[in-house]
Amino acid sequence: MTTVFDFSLLAYSPPGWGKVLLVGFLRSIELAAGGYLLGILIGIAGASGKLYGNKVVRDLLEIYTMVIRAVPELVLMLLFYYVGTDLLSRASSAMGFGGVNIDGLTAGILVIGLVQGGYATEVFRGAILAIPRGQIEAAHAFGMPPGKVLRRVTLPAMTPHALPGMANLWMIATKDTALLAVIDFSELTLVTRQAAGATQYYIMFFLAAGVLYLALTLVSNFALRRFERHARRGLVPAR
């Protein structure tokens, strides 16, 4: 019988790989959080464009969300990664800064954010449509400029409607960071594979990484539920 588990390898200090895994885990969280926030910004802009923009903007955004939803994340990430870094380095050399090297974290956040943005656009669009029309019209009638209407009325009023979808997107973001392992970002999945390959304890290391991912999912699930209950206070429960 061969051994599958040797828990001393998970120790924090160097003969164990614990520190490497935890650093990778933190990097995964950073990537997910950054990408998620960028996705929210893109989503708000995209939803406003889809609802209030002119025909051309609306059609272009429709194409954006359609492509994001129809093409595998892995392919999109590769494409955004190469196109994005290529364009940025070209732009910077054209502006005379010389070739810049985009560090992995920024590129990863950009890539995840662009994918998240496509889904977030749809979530926010639905949430804004769920706001009673009168509330936004009343804000306009008070003479608020569009930016202020968005900040003071639309965004706060749509939050409870957007939360279930956005909670789902956060789960997707945490799991999508694993895909960056394929393009050699040293996040949790990739460092786990390196640790497993070096020690040949594949099952143990992958299970350990799974526990970390699961812990993140369960904790954030709990927190998001609490936040949702807080945001929905005072609303008539659906159905």
Where on the chain is the footprint of other proteins (CB under 8 A)? 2, 4, 55-56, 59-60, 67, 69-76, 78-79, 82-83, 86, 171, 175-179, 181-182, 189, 192-193, 196-197, 200, 202-203, 206-207, 209-210, 213-214, 217-218
CB of 73 vs other proteins, minimal distance in Å:
6
| Pick 154 or 192: Cβ nearer other proteins | 192
CB of 239 vs other proteins, minimal distance in Å:
11
CB of 43 vs other proteins, minimal distance in Å:
19
| Pick 85 or 92: Cβ nearer other proteins | 85
| Pick 153 or 196: Cβ nearer other proteins | 196
CB of 157 vs other proteins, minimal distance in Å:
27
CB of 38 vs other proteins, minimal distance in Å:
20
3-state secondary structure string across the chain: CCCCCCHHHHCCCCCCCHHHHHHHHHHHHHHHHHHHHHHHHHHHHHHHHHHHCCHHHHHHHHHHHHHHHHCCHHHHHHHHHHHHHHHHHHHHHHCCCCCCCCCHHHHHHHHHHHHHHHHHHHHHHHHHHCCCHHHHHHHHHCCCCHHHHHHHHHHHHHHHHHHHHHHHHHHHHHHHHHHHHHHCCCCHHHHHHHHHHHHCCHHHHHHHHHHHHHHHHHHHHHHHHHHHHHHCCCCCCCC
| Pick 100 or 214: Cβ nearer other proteins | 214
C-alpha 163/C-alpha 64 separation (Å) is 22
| Pick 23 or 157: Cβ nearer other proteins | 23
CB of 22 vs other proteins, minimal distance in Å:
16
| Pick 11 or 214: Cβ nearer other proteins | 214
